[in-house]
């Protein structure tokens, strides 16, 4: 991959949500998926990539599930190489919304005493996208690591789209040029921190990091992902993710 080899890459996982739509006994990121909590699959993929220097996870202050997950993930990492420090895993306080949790992680990374420089890059990934492949991550980094506005994984819309009005159809929506946004999303750390700070200050509701960068005038690149990189939101998604992982689909 091109770019400055000294530029580090950090991953951020906002994981302070409780997942009401799952209607489970715990936040969905901690539900069992093929023998591991959902979030552990995401963490292992990111920490296992040779280009990622460390991961920052934003969790709720009263999260009692995180310590066990953190210990299991850290135990799975290879020992630090003799040439330098190994991978790092940090916890920061989560916020009321996704943007607040991501900002908490970015403030930790680039604030006083933080491990990152403003010119480093950051990947933001959903805790509940456990089926990310190494090939997708490689593709995203190859395309977006040096782009000034970053990049995100996404899937072109293939189905016919309908706008509903109650239980009826109001209109068919032109799908040309439409994409389903996925994660990870990759940006220069300084750009993303400034964009999210501006969005929060303006009271703008942003549902992903790319939207904040767009609002600041950026135009992130779209990198085609895979249909298997699904977001676990309902019980059916959990079953599908288990089938993907147990079936050896991911490489």
161-172 confidence digits (pLDDT tens)? 999 998 999 999
Q: What integer is the mean pLDDT of 155-179?
A: 94
Give the pLDDT confidence of 19-31 residue by residue, as tens digits: 677 778 899 999 9
| Residue 46: strand, helix, or coil | helix
99 touches 208 (CB < 8 A): no
109 touches 196 (CB < 8 A): no
Give the burial string for 37-72 (b: 16+ CB within 10 Å, else e).
bbbbbbbbbbbebeebbbbbbbbbeebebbeebbee
What are the chain's domains?
9-246 (3.90.550.10)
Q: Measured between alpha carbons, how far is 12 from 58 in angstroms, rounded to an integer?
A: 8
Q: What integer is the mean pLDDT of 197-219?
A: 96
Per-residue confidence (pLDDT) for residue 77, from 0 to 100: 82
Q: What integer is the mean pLDDT of 126-148?
A: 97
Q: Which residues pair with 33 in a beta bridge?
A: 36
Q: What is the DSSP letter of 79?
A: P
Q: Which residues pair with 232 in a beta bridge?
A: none
Give the pLDDT confidence of 67-103 residue by residue, as tens digits: 999 999 999 887 655 444 578 999 999 999 999 999 9
Per-residue confidence (pLDDT) for residue 82, from 0 to 100: 47
Name the pairing type of β-strands 151-156 and 121-124.
unpaired
C-alpha to C-alpha distances, 69 to 58, 215, 235, nearest whole angstrom: 13, 35, 21
Per-residue confidence (pLDDT) for residue 85, from 0 to 100: 59
C-alpha to C-alpha distances, 24 to 18, 29, 46, 251, nearest whole angstrom: 9, 11, 26, 30
Confidence label for 249 from pLDDT (cuts 50, 70 and 90): low
């Amino acid at each position: 991959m091109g770019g400055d080899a000294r530029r580090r890459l950090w991953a951020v996982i906002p994981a302070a949500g409780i997942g009401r739509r799952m209607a489970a006994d715990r936040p969905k990121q901690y539900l069992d998926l093929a023998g591991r909590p959902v979030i552990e699959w995401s963490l292992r993929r990111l920490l296992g990539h040779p280009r990622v220097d460390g991961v920052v996870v934003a969790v709720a202050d009263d999260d009692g599930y995180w310590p066990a997950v953190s210990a299991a993930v850290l135990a799975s990492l290879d020992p630090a190489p003799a040439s330098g420090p190994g991978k790092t895993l940090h916890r920061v306080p989560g916020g009321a919304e996704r943007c607040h949790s991501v900002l908490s992680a970015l403030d930790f990374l680039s604030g006083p005493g933080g491990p990152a420089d403003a010119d480093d890059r950051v990947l933001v990934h959903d805790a509940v996208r456990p089926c990310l492949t190494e090939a997708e991550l490689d593709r995203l980094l190859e395309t977006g690591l040096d782009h000034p506005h970053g990049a995100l994984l996404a899937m072109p819309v293939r189905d016919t789209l309908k706008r509903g009005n109650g239980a009826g159809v109001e209109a068919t929506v032109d799908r040309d040029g439409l994409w389903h946004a996925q994660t990870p999303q990759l940006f220069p750390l300084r750009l993303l921190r400034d964009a999210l700070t501006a969005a929060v200050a303006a009271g703008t509701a942003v549902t992903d990091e790319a939207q904040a960068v767009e609002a600041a005038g950026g135009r992130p690149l779209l990198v085609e992902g895979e249909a298997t990189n699904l977001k676990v939101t309902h019980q059916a998604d959990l079953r599908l993710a288990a089938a993907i992982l147990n079936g050896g689909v991911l490489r």
